[in-house]
Each structure stands twice: as structure tokens, then as C-alpha cells.
Amino acid sequence: MASRKKTSAQRAPAGKPVAAPAKVKRAKAPRTASGKKANPALLAAAEQEAQRGNRERTEEGHLAAGRVPPSQGVEKRVSGATQRVIDDAIRDWRPPVTEDEKLLSGPNAGDRRATDDFTRTDTWRAMRIMSEVIEGFDTLASVEKGVSVFGSARTHPNDPQYEQATEVSRLLAEAGFSIITGAGPGIMEAANKGARLGGGRSIGCNIELPFEQGANPYVDTLVNFRYFFVRKTMFIKYSVAFIIFPGGFGTLDELFEALTLIQTGKIYQFPVILFGRHYWAGLVRWLQTRVLGERKISASDLDLMLLTDDPAEAAHAVISSFNEQNRTASERAEKSHG
């Protein structure tokens, strides 16, 4: 019996050529910023390498200052607002171990019991977040003239940037300002050291990490945080200015956090000082040519950042801005009572 299935040539109308089957275009894999083809294995390896690099940079800062890094100590690390002991066991393909990681991790797919537990855990986690906010407020409530200084943890004490961070912080401390840092080594240590040399308050806001970061010895008021967003709230709330020294992703995070809050009207008359013109030149040039060129920001947004290489100039910018803040606040108070 002859088959009833017709070929494409038999189905085609007479006199018309049969079209060739369309070729399926193979999707191209995106590439990383370094030019490598992206795939899950590469991204997982990059994540592990990034964590290792972060730890190495932090340890390098402590070693440069002549200290044994806390992450190389024999005791289990402690962190968090209540000095809770953190499990530091096997870390590859592990359950979440930091509070930020637990907060940002979802329930196991397809496991109803895990979903229920996760919902209840999040309820308690919200209470823990609230307690951490309250503790931060209580500890820092007396800070009226705080200046947050950010920068790399690996900066060596012999580096000119370390000396400049110490000097600008000393000048501000002598003018009655408190210095706030992330409590780590490098630029953070330099700023806390400058605060102590200037007779000012030296504050460190430490963060829970997968390894023990530790606080530098120049901090006199230390607050430990589990959650990055709570810590960032403290930096903004108790600061009247940010001084941004050369640093990595964490430094850039604080820089753009402040710029976004100013741009959206959440804070005002808040100087953001980029210290080290040469280091920041590439970023500023990209913002000018690409981001502004494509109208993703306004021309006036570029004026939200101040650039300097002079500690005295940076200190003067903070002091003059603070005085202007007070003047504006007085004028508003007079108008409200008038």
C-alpha cells in the first residue's frame, strides 16, 4: 500500500520552488566584563574567586599594619549586633551563613515545609532587623557632626593615600567632627587614626562577612551589623558628608548610594568628595561622555561630586557645607515660626 504522506515537493503548488527550511539562529552567550563567555560554571567560579579576593585584600590591610588578620585567628569569629557566633564550616554549596545571605535567599523550590518555615523565619528576622536598627540608633544618637570616610581595606600605611586619609580626618576631628568608617584596615584605619590624633570621636560600623574582618585598633565606638542596608542607613543618618578614597565595589556602592539620595531629594547639602583625581578620572569621564551623553543623568548631577587631592581642601568643603546646612536650617525654622 502506497504511503499517503506527501513530500514537501509534492505539497508545493506547481511552478513554485520549495523554500529551504529556515535555519535556527543559535543564541550567543553573553560575555563578562573581562570578555569571557558567560556560563553558570564560570559565574560560580567567579563568585568564589571574588569572595577569596575580598578576604585577601582585607587580610593584606591588617598585615600591612603589622597585625595578624582576625580571619587567621584560632577563635571562631563573632559578629552581629549581639556578638552571635557564626558557623564558619565548609562554605562551598552551603546553606546561608550570614544574616544578609539568609535574608536574600528564597525557600527551596517544591518544598512546602521549607516555604512555611521560611515565612515564619522571615517574621522573626524582621524583628532582628528592627533590633539592629534600634541598637545603631542608640549607640550613635549623640553623633551630630559625623563624616564617613570610605576606601580600600588594602591600602598600606606607607601609601600617600593612607597619610592623606589620616590628615583629612585629623583636621575634621580638630574642627569638632566625628569620623565614621567601616572599622576595617587600610583607608578605614587611617581615618580612625586621624580622628584619634585630632581628639575626635572615632566610630566603626563593622559588617558581618563570611570571614572575620575585625576592627582596627583606632576605633573607640564600635557597632556590629548583620545587614548591609542597616549599616548603610547609619552611614547616611549620622553623616553630614562622605569622603570617598580609592576603593572597590563597596566604596562605589556608598558613593552611588549618596548620589542617588541627593538626586532624589532624600538628603540635601551633602558633599560627596572624591579624593584622588587620577583614580576617579576614568569614572568621571565615563559619566560625562556616556551616561550624560545619553541623557541618563542631567548635567547638574555631575556637580554633586567634588574632586580633590588636598586634605585641607576636603576638610574645608565639609566644614563650609555644614555651616551652610545650619544657616539653611535656621532660616527654615524662622519662616515656620514667622
Average pLDDT over residues 278-290: 96
* 215 domain residue, yes or no: yes
Q: Per residue in 148-198, pLDDT tens? A: 999 999 999 999 999 999 999 999 999 999 999 999 999 999 999 999 999
* 115 domain residue, yes or no: no
Alpha helix segments (H runs only) across 65-109: 99-104
DSSP 275: E
pLDDT at 80: 42
* 204 domain residue, yes or no: yes
CA quadruple 158, 162, 168, 171: dihedral, nearest 10? -50
pLDDT at 77: 41
C-alpha grid cell for residue 127?
524583628
Flag the least confident range among 62-76, 110-124, 194-208. 110-124
- 332 or 104: whose pLDDT is higher? 332
* 105 domain residue, yes or no: no
Average pLDDT over residues 267-278: 92
pLDDT at 139: 95
pLDDT at 122: 77
pLDDT at 107: 55
Tell me: pLDDT of 281 over 90: yes
As a whole number of Å, the end-to-end CA separation of the chain is 104
CATH code at 183? 3.40.50.450
Please count the structural domains in the chain. Answer: 1
Average pLDDT over residues 121-134: 87
- 79 or 195: whose pLDDT is higher? 195
Q: Per residue in 207-265, pLDDT tens? A: 988 766 779 999 999 999 999 999 999 999 999 999 999 999 999 999 999 999 999 99
- How many other C-beta atoms lie within 10 A of the C-beta of residue 240? 22
Phi, psi of 67 (to 5 degrees): -115, 155
* 273 domain residue, yes or no: yes
Q: Which domain holds residue 301?
A: 144-337
pLDDT at 325: 83
Tell the burial category of 34 from Cβ atoms under 10 Å away from its Cβ (0-12, 13-18, 19+).
Answer: exposed
* 70 domain residue, yes or no: no
- How many other C-beta atoms lie within 10 A of the C-beta of residue 163? 15
* 137 domain residue, yes or no: no
> 277: pLDDT confidence band, cut at 50, 70 and 90?
very high
Integer Cα distance of 198 and 195 in angstroms: 5
Q: Per residue in 22-57, pLDDT tens? A: 665 665 667 766 677 767 776 677 767 767 777 777
* 107 domain residue, yes or no: no
pLDDT at 60: 79
Q: Per residue in 293-308, pLDDT tens? A: 999 999 999 999 999 9
Q: Per residue in 88-117, pLDDT tens? A: 343 343 445 566 666 666 655 444 445 555
pLDDT at 250: 93
Integer Cα distance of 263 and 303 in angstroms: 11
pLDDT at 18: 58
Tell me: pLDDT of 311 over 80: yes
pLDDT at 21: 63
pTM of the model: 0.75
Alpha helix segments (H runs only) across 144-276: 160-174, 187-197, 228-237, 249-263
Tell the burial category of 105 from Cβ atoms under 10 Å away from its Cβ (0-12, 13-18, 19+).
Answer: exposed
pLDDT at 101: 67
Phi, psi of 85 (to 5 degrees): -75, 130
